[in-house]
Amino acid sequence: LFWNRRYGPAALADGAIIADLAPAGVVVSESLAGFLFEPSSLARDGRPLQVFSAFRRRAASLPPPSPPQARPNALPPPVEGLEGETLDQFGLLPRGQDWTTGLAAAWAPGEAGAHRRLQAFLDGELRHYEVQRDRPALASTSQLSPHLRFGEISPHRVLAEASRAEASGGAGKFAAELNWREFAWHVFAHRPDLATRNLRSEFDSFPWQEADPSTLRAWRRGMTGYPVVDAGMRQLWRTGWMHNRARMICASFLTKHLLIDWRIGEAWFWDTLVDADPANNPFNWQWVAGSGFDAQPYFRIFNPVLQGERFDPDGTYVRAWVPELARLPARFVHSPWKAPPMILAAAGIRLGETYPEPIVDHASARRRALAAFAATRDGRSAPPGGMSG
């Protein structure tokens, strides 16, 4: 038997299958697929590296990843007498209401679609990648993550093609982002409980708040009253994808403004992202929450207004996904509650009716989060603290 090596809990299941087949003389050959480096390698004393820069240095010391193989001219004939199954037999098509319209419009699944997407990126966005990759309104990222996740294109192919386009600029930074993907899988190969347990044990005592259903619903539906958060969450629901900067803002808002456990957010992203995988999704959530390896400092709490003003200065991203605010001037589009009544009326906005008031006050939420993180760090109980909307 031949199959691609899996990691995490799936690796344990595969090991059991191998053990069951051995008495019958069946040998299993596993291959590395979907990664530049074997995820379980690069460890130190059997433990995963915990800092990305150390991982990248270790990877750079290895022989370069092998180039992609040429497409075969022919495939060997199937084994005689071996019956196959059709896709219809798996019952994969949705039943009932079809909610995939937005996904179908946004993506072209399959190998051909993946290669078209790569070529479009190399011909256009790559040259601006380093300076524009944090602008969610711009088509400045590769959007290859779903194709990589489902094996529709190899990272070897992506890296090789990007390296050949190095003269256009941006390839170095793009390669670093591919290494972050490798780092997440490296951690997952050693920590199969990545989606359920904090990598940093001190967060086991963090005082997460019970997730109020209405508050959680507002976050999921993009109705928090913070336009850049709402734009990201609506983009996610409509297309199954969200720009990386928006992912960080939305995840930070849930874990630090609302103090809702990162695992709840991770589960929602797992259900809604077309590129969610068992390594990157929980790794990135733990990175934002502060409980992961090489995580952002606990005291770094994104201000959603300032994040919007910095990375979506003219409000193009917000207007695309939060059309209620489309007629609002740019200086108020990330903080509509600051707009004078006449401006709101001219834009057709009635706060609390056509668009929600903020569900939480940023300054109050920041103070409460800092107190909770400091108490966790010092081994104390966090003081209670309410927040006004």
H or E element in which residue 117 lies? helix 111-123
Could you tell me if 22 and 155 lie in one domain? no
- Return the H-helix or E-strand segment holding 31: strand 29-31
Asked if the structure places residue 221 within a domain, the reply is yes
Give residue 387's pLDDT: 47
The pLDDT of residue 195 is: 97
273 and 178 in one domain? Answer: no
* CATH code of residue 171: 1.25.40.80
- Domain presence at residue 71: no
- d(Cα 254, Cα 219) in Å, to the nearest integer? 7
216 lies in the same domain as 318: yes
Q: Which of 30, 208, 303, 337 is catalytic?
A: 208
3 belongs to the catalytic site: no
* Domain assignment of residue 72, yes or no: no
Percent of the chain with pLDDT over 70: 96
Are residue 271 and residue 374 in the same domain, yes or no? yes
Is residue 55 classed as helix, strand or coil in its secondary structure?
helix
Sequence-ordered list of residues with C-beta below 8 angstroms from that of 125, at least 6 positions apart, any chain: 132, 139, 140, 141, 142, 170
Q: Has residue 112 been placed in a domain?
A: no
Active-site hit among 107, 185, 268, 285: 285
**Is 208 in the active site?**
yes
Section 69-76 average pLDDT: 85
For residue 280, name the pLDDT band (cuts at 50, 70, 90). Answer: very high
Which of 30, 38, 130, 177 is labelled catalytic?
177
What integer pLDDT is reported at residue 196 of this predicted model?
97
C-alpha to C-alpha distances, 43 to 23, 177, 185, nearest whole angstrom:
32, 20, 12
Both 328 and 182 in one domain: the answer is: no
Provide the residue range defining the domain that includes 16.
1-33
Residues 357 and 273 in one domain: yes
Per-residue tokens: 309: 């003003």
Q: Residue 79: pLDDT above 80?
A: no
Share of the chain above pLDDT 90, in %: 75
Same domain, 152 and 284: no
Strand partners, 201: none
Residue 169: the pLDDT is 64
CATH number of the domain to which 258 belongs? 1.10.579.10
Q: Select which of 262, 268, 287, 321 is catalytic.
A: 262
Q: What is the pLDDT of residue 64?
A: 87
Considering the domain boundaries, does residue 106 fall inside one?
no
Among candidate residues 244, 270, 303, 337, the one labeled active-site is 244
Most confident among 60-74, 225-239, 293-307 (mean pLDDT):
225-239
| Res. 142: pLDDT tops 50 | yes
- Do 148 and 220 have their domain in common? no
Distance CA 240, CA 272 (A): 6
Give the model's pLDDT for residue 96: 73
pLDDT of 217: 98
Q: With bands split at pLDDT 50, 70 and 90, how would you rate the model's confidence at 380?
A: low
In this structure, is residue 270 part of a structural domain?
A: yes
Q: Spell 84-121 as b/e; 16+ CB within 10 A means b.
A: eeeeeeeeeeeeeeeeeeebeeebeeeeeebeebbeeb
Residue 177 annotated in active site: yes
Q: What is the mean pLDDT of residues 69-88?
A: 82
pLDDT of residue 56: 93
- Indicate whether 234 and 366 sit together in one domain: yes
Taking only the tens place, the pLDDT of each residue in 284-329 is 999 999 999 998 777 889 999 999 999 999 999 999 999 999 999 9
Query: How deeply is 287 buried, as exposed, middle or buried, from its count of CB atoms within 10 A (0-12, 13-18, 19+)?
Result: buried
**pLDDT recorded at residue 283:** 98
Q: Which two tokens stand for residue 260?
A: 């809702």
pLDDT at 172: 86
The pLDDT, as a whole number, for residue 168 is 57
Q: How far is CA 193 from CA 48, 187, 198, 279, in A?
A: 13, 10, 9, 10
* Mean pLDDT over each residue of the chain, to the nearest integer: 92
Could you give the CA distance from residue 347 to residue 285 in angstroms, rounded to a whole number? 36
Among the ranges given (14-18, 84-88, 160-164), the one the predictor scored with the smallest mean pLDDT: 84-88
Is residue 125 pLDDT above 60, yes or no?
Answer: yes
Domain assignment of residue 373, yes or no: yes
Q: Quick one: 178 and 231 in the same domain?
A: no
Whole-number pLDDT of residue 53: 94
Higher pLDDT pick, 124 / 333: 333
Q: How confident is the model at residue 388 (pLDDT cuts 50, 70, 90)?
A: very low
Tell me, what's the pLDDT at 92? 78
In the numeric block, which tokens belong to residue 121?
A: 């990126």
Whether residues 317 and 206 fall in one domain: yes
| CA dist., res. 35 & res. 296, Å (int) | 25
pLDDT tens for 168-194 read 567 888 999 999 999 999 999 999 999
Residue 382 pLDDT grade (very low, low, confident, very high; cuts 50, 70, 90) = low
Per-residue pLDDT, averaged over 58-71, amounts to 87
Q: Which of 30, 38, 130, 180 is catalytic?
A: 180
The reply to whether 184 and 210 lie within a common domain is no
Note whether 180 and 37 are within 8 A (CB): no
Last residue of a domain, one of 136, 166, 190: 190
Instruction: Respond yes or no: is residue 262 known to be catalytic.
Output: yes
Indicate whether 61 pLDDT > 50: yes
Phi, psi of 2 (to 5 degrees): -130, 130
334 in a domain, yes or no? yes
Give catalytic status of residue 99 as yes or no: no
Q: What is the number of structural domains in the chain? A: 3
